[in-house]
């Protein structure tokens, strides 16, 4: 006959027999890694406003994550009826990541989707290949290798994004240099 676990625990478990399951639960809880918050990708640029036939993107905010160690009580102290401590409390160290936002990202002018044609992407790939930052094929597709090459050129300019900035596109000859009205 199979009995429910709770009833089994009450019927059979003596104070000494409770020690092993308590130790196992403590070890399981102590060994669990702290929950990690999702990390933001600094490489992602989001398309923001489009006005006057101009498009802008913004890099993700810059963040710094530090690890803070805290003590967490695993088991409180056990006291006897006269108030003396029979077992001291048990603590464990827990490392928690703390993330701070340093800045809100950089906004920059980019090419609108309609401007980023297959021919212009192929021109971009040829220009990046000539500068030895792109090793892929000239496909006319804005793929991961092209994005990585664009980002490697833009990072020293303060734009940590795989999205092509208008200033870089003009400098590489992908689009004509715009003149202010």
For residue range 92-128, what is the model confidence (pLDDT) as tens digits?
A: 999 999 998 888 888 999 999 889 999 999 999 999 9
133-149 mean pLDDT: 95
DSSP code, position 61: P
pTM of the model: 0.55
For residue range 37-90, what is the model confidence (pLDDT) as tens digits?
A: 333 344 444 555 566 778 999 888 888 899 999 999 999 999 999 989 999 999
In this prediction, residue 178 carries a pLDDT of 78
Dihedral angle of Cα 20, 26, 28, 32, to the nearest 10 degrees: -170
- Residue spans per domain, the chain: 1-31, 112-171
* Burial class for 119, CB neighbours closer than 10 Å (0-12, 13-18, 19+): exposed
In this prediction, residue 19 carries a pLDDT of 59
Closest to 106 in 3D by CA, of 45, 21, 178, 181:
45
In this prediction, residue 61 carries a pLDDT of 84
> Mean pLDDT for the chain?
79
Closest to 74 in 3D by CA, of 95, 87, 90, 86:
90
Backbone angles phi, psi at 123, to 5 degrees: -60, -40
In this prediction, residue 54 carries a pLDDT of 84
């Amino acid at each position: 006959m199979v009995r429910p676990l709770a009833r089994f625990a009450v019927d059979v478990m003596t104070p000494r027999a409770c020690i092993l399951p308590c130790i196992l639960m403590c070890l399981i809880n102590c060994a669990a890694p702290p929950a990690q918050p999702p990390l933001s990708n600094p490489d992602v640029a989001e398309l923001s406003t489009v006005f006057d036939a101009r498009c802008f993107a913004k890099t993700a905010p810059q963040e710094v994550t530090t690890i803070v160690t805290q003590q967490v009580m695993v088991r409180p102290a056990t006291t006897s009826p006269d108030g003396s401590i029979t077992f001291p409390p048990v603590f464990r160290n827990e490392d928690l990541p703390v993330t701070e936002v340093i800045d809100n990202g950089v906004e920059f002018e980019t090419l609108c989707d309609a401007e980023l044609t297959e021919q212009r992407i192929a021109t971009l790939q040829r220009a990046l290949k000539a500068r030895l930052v792109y090793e892929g094929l000239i496909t006319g597709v804005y793929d991961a290798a092209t994005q990585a090459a664009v980002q490697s050129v833009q990072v020293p300019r303060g734009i940590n994004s795989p999205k092509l900035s208008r200033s870089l596109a003009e400098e590489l000859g992908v689009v004509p240099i715009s003149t202010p009205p």
